[in-house]
């Protein structure tokens, strides 16, 4: 009897793991068969995989958009794959490239959501499909210049703006222009903070806005490395700020890093994403005294893009989905859920929405400097952080 | 087949699987990253990545900073852990029981959570600052500083090191200590002549673990370290995924491997000497 017991438990373990493994096998088989293109013929919906990353609010957004779309299009099944921010975005991109290089088609990733860096990188690597108004009619509602910036390789379906977030109990007149802001930082030492630009968009936006402060407007749509020579005055401005920012040169990590400092009352003014501030105000994470101010010319904001994998064999279904995402009704959900700006031009939205953005949208600029963004971060690390 | 050949074949066969794993997960990747670090981006192979590593001002200060933090942490961890272990070995009572029950708690707290805890505790408006404020003391800056990283490293490394050292100390027979005491050996001599030599091997193991753990640490230095200089782990991440210079990141990785292997070689040599002495 004594001998038997471990044997029985071993058998149970083996049996259990076998059945688990078998379950996994079945699961993947099911998805692979339903993702097969010919499945549509038999009446099964065409299913494609949509990989997206971001904070919880991005997941909530797609969780509410997906059922809306599938109700209108019962023949298409969108399989959402959410990757929590910070862990999987890069491997996802690498998987797409790897699948292409290995000749394995789309690698199971049909649609992908990310920022401008991935758009530029993927355009260079030749993995994104070019989109046009014939396949996605609603593309006509998107600002033509923004589409030109990305050569139609991606859809800027929503945007967020970087604004100044400030503690109104300490500041009554927040700066309204970039020059005023620079003066304010020097007049109030250690009361301003921006995050390490390589770790989050709000700090990166602050740095880029100053670097391009005195440069002609067309330069912010130019990724020619020759422009790097014009950065000197901008970088010297940022360097001069060093002794006046929080901790005489401490740049917290991530967008949340500066928000934490604002929350604790250690600083009173920071650049921050408007949607993050609004969301945290709604959830009571930030005190009610925190207010936002847009400056002119605006901080560079960032659209988030949807990119179609060139290798995907379900482009028709994806185009249907993209067309839906750009429809005014879907865009309205995006604005509500994300506290952000719509991806389509405001004139296409309801009058209510247009009123909501009255006077705010003008302060918003889109930069497209491609790989130069990385160069700015590199130079910031050696010139500003290591000064 | 003679018994000896059969034995050596069995021996080889038993070593082979672990060697294969070592080959696949350690040796080949190291060689690969070494080759990668030699490519200069324009098709050729040279030492330019290493030149950059040792000539760039930022990188130089990163390396010095990493070694400094590692050295300070190693000394501090060993001092604290040895003291704790010896105290627990040669004393009894409620305090010892309390230490014995609690000193391993940090091992069960995930790194990120512990780091955020430290930020909340030691930050400028953290608990400690608020408590000291009542007493009229202003807390100096600890977070976003070298001190913060060292404190976090102590938190992560002391429990494990203490555990290793206490197990080594409990292996020392009480009879040796007692008889030494009987012939009138002082406390210091007791430590340098008996306790330390008898726990030297574990001491070396512990030191190697702390050194390697700290030199490659990432979470705490990333979250509470300064922007510059950075620990090598943080710098590697930045170079790899933000600047996307994989060859340069490989060079940093290979360099930190070399740093670790110096200590590793020292450790293996002393172990081998001991084995030889036994034979």
pTM for this entry: 0.74
Domain ranges of chain B: 57-278
CA distance A234 to A164: 19
Q: How confident is the model at residue A217 (pLDDT cuts 50, 70, 90)?
A: confident
| pLDDT reading at A183 higher than 90 | yes
Alpha-carbon distance of B56 to B62, in angstroms, equals 10
Of A258-272, A342-356, B30-44, the least confident: A342-356
Q: Is the Cβ pair A382, B58 closer than 8 Å?
A: yes
A101 touching B (Cβ < 8 Å): no
Flag if A90 and B241 touch (Cβ within 8 Å): yes
Task: Give the model's pLDDT for residue B154.
Answer: 93
Question: CA-to-CA distance for A235 and A383, rounded, in angstroms?
Answer: 8
Which tens digit of pLDDT belongs to each residue from B174-185? Answer: 888 888 888 888
Which of B57, B144, B241 lies at the smallest CB-CB distance from A250? B144
Which residue shows structure tokens 């110096």? B262
Q: What are the DSSP calls for A24-89, one per residue? A: HHHHHHHHHHHHSGGGGGGTPPEEEEEEEEESHHHHHHHHHHHHHHHHH-TTEEEEEEEEETTTSH
Task: Tell me what pLDDT residue A31 has.
Answer: 41
CA A330, CA A125: separation in Å to the nearest integer? 31
Q: Looking at the predicted structure, is the pLDDT value of residue A1 above 50? A: no
Question: Of A165, A145, A265, which is closest to residue A205 (Cα–Cα)?
Answer: A165
What pLDDT, on the 0 to 100 scale, is given for residue A86?
57
ipTM for this model: 0.76
Q: How many CB pairs under 8 A join A and B?
A: 44
**pLDDT tens-digit series, residues B218-239:** 989 988 888 878 899 999 988 8
Residue to substitute from A89, A120, A261, A378, interface B, most B β-carbons within 10 A:
A378
Q: Testing the interface with B: which of A84, A251, A386 to mutate, by most B Cβ within 10 A?
A: A386
For A232-279, how does the pLDDT look when each residue is reduced to its tens digit (9 = 90+)?
999 999 999 999 999 888 898 888 889 988 988 889 999 998 888 888
pLDDT of residue B160: 93
Mutation test of the interface with chain B: which of A253, A262, A371, choosing the one with the most B Cβ atoms within 10 A?
Answer: A253
What pLDDT score does A28 carry?
40
pLDDT > 90: percent of chain A: 27
Q: At residue A216, does pLDDT exceed 50?
A: yes
* Residue B23 DSSP label: I
**Can you give the pLDDT at residue A29?**
39
Contacts (Cβ under 8 Å, ≥6 apart) of B90: B177
Provide the 3-class DSSP secondary structure of residue B254: helix
Q: A382 and B57: CB-CB below 8 Å?
A: yes
Closest in B226, B229, B243 to A374, CB measured = B243
**CB-CB under 8 Å, B61 with A247:** no
DSSP structural state of residue A177: B
pLDDT band at B120 (very low <50, low <70, confident <90, very high): confident
Check whether A354 has a pLDDT greater than 90: no
CB A309 within 8 A of CB A110: yes
Residue B99, both tokens: 């230490």
In 3-state terms chain A splits into helix, strand, coil percentages (rounded to 5) of 55, 15, 30
Closest-CA residue of B relative to A379 is: B243
- Name the CATH superfamily housing domain B57-278: MetI-like (1.10.3720.10)
Q: What are the strands, taking DSSP E only, across chain A? A: 46-54, 76-84, 111-114, 155-160, 162-167, 269-273, 290-293, 300-308, 341-342, 365-366
One-character DSSP codes across B112-146: HHHHHHHHHHHSTTSHHHHHHHHTT-PPPP-TTSH
Number of other residues whose CB lies within 10 A of the CB of residue A222: 16
Q: Residues of chain B whose C-beta is under 8 A from some C-beta in A?
A: 56-58, 61, 123-125, 141, 144, 222-223, 226-229, 238, 241-244
- CB pair distance less than 8 Å for B242 and A385: no
The set of residues, in sequence order, having a beta carbon less than 8 Å from that of A376 and lying 6+ positions away, is: A197, A204, A207, A208, A211, A231, A369
* B255 contacts B82 by C-beta, under 8 angstroms: no
Residue A364: per-residue pLDDT: 59
A52-104 pLDDT, tens digit per residue, is: 887 777 888 899 999 999 999 999 999 999 887 655 667 788 888 889 888 88
């Amino acid at each position: 009897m004594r001998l038997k017991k471990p044997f029985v438990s071993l058998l149970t373990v083996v049996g259990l793991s076998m059945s688990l493994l078998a379950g996994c096998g079945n699961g993947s088989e099911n998805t692979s068969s339903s993702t097969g293109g010919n499945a549509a013929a038999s009446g099964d919906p065409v299913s494609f995989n949509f990989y997206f990353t971001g904070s919880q609010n991005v997941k909530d957004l797609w969780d509410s958009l997906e059922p809306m779309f599938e109700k209108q299009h019962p023949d298409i099944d969108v399989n959402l794959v959410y990757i929590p921010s910070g862990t999987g975005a890069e491997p996802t991109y690498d998987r797409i490239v790897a699948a292409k290089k290995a000749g394995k088609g789309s690698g199971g990733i049909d649609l992908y959501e990310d920022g401008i860096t991935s758009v530029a990188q993927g355009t260079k690597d030749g993995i994104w499909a070019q989109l046009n108004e014939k396949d996605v009619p609603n593309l006509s509602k998107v600002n033509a210049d923004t589409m030109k910036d990305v050569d139609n390789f991606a859809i800027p379906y929503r945007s967020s703006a970087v604004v100044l977030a400030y503690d109104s109990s300490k500041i009554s007149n927040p700066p309204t222009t970039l020059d005023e802001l620079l003066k304010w930082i020097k007049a109030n030492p250690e009361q301003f903070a921006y995050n390490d630009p390589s770790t989050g968009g709000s700090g990166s936006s602050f740095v880029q806005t100053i670097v391009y402060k005195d440069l002609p407007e067309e330069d912010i749509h130019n990724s020619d490395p020759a422009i790097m020579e014009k950065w000197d005055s901008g970088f010297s401005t940022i360097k001069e700020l060093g002794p006046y920012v929080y901790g005489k040169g401490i740049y917290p990590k991530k967008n949340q890093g500066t928000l934490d400092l604002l929350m604790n009352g250690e600083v009173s003014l920071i650049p921050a994403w408007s949607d993050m501030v609004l969301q945290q105000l709604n959830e009571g994470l930030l005190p009610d005294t925190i207010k936002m101010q847009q400056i002119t010319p605006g901080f560079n904001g960032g659209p988030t893009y949807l990119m179609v994998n060139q290798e995907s064999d379900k482009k028709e279904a994806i185009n249907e989905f993209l067309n839906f995402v750009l429809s005014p009704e879907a865009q309205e959900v995006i604005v509500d859920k994300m506290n952000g700006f719509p991806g389509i031009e405001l004139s296409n939205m309801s009058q209510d929405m247009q009123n909501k953005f009255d006077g705010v949208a003008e302060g918003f600029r889109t930069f497209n400097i491609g790989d130069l963004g990385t160069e700015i971060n590199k130079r910031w690390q050696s010139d500003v952080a290591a000064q | 087949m003679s018994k000896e050949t059969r034995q050596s074949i069995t021996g080889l066969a038993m070593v082979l699987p672990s060697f294969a794993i070592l080959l696949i997960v350690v040796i080949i990747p190291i060689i690969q990253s070494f080759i990668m670090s030699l490519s200069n981006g324009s098709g050729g192979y040279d030492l330019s990545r290493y030149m950059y590593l040792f000539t760039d001002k930022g990188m130089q200060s990163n390396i010095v900073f990493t070694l400094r933090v590692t050295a300070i942490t190693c000394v501090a961890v060993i001092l604290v852990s040895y003291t704790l272990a010896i105290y627990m070995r040669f004393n009894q009572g409620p305090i010892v029981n309390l230490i014995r029950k609690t000193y391993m708690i940090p091992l069960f707290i995930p790194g990120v959570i512990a780091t955020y805890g430290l930020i909340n505790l030691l930050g400028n408006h953290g608990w400690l600052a608020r408590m000291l404020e009542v007493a009229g003391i202003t807390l100096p800056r600890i977070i976003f500083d070298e001190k913060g990283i060292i404190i976090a490293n102590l938190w992560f490394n002391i429990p494990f090191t203490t555990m290793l050292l206490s197990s080594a100390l409990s292996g020392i027979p009480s009879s040796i200590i007692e008889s030494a005491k009987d012939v009138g050996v002082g406390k210091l001599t007791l430590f340098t002549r008996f306790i330390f030599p008898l726990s030297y091997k574990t001491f070396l193991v512990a030191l190697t673990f702390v050194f390697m753990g700290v030199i490659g640490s990432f979470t705490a230095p990333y979250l509470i370290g300064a922007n510059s200089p950075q620990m090598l782990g943080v710098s590697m991440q930045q170079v790899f995924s933000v600047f996307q210079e994989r060859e340069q990141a490989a060079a940093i990785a290979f360099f930190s491997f070399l740093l670790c292997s110096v200590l590793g070689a020292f450790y293996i040599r002393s172990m081998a000497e001991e084995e030889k002495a036994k034979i």
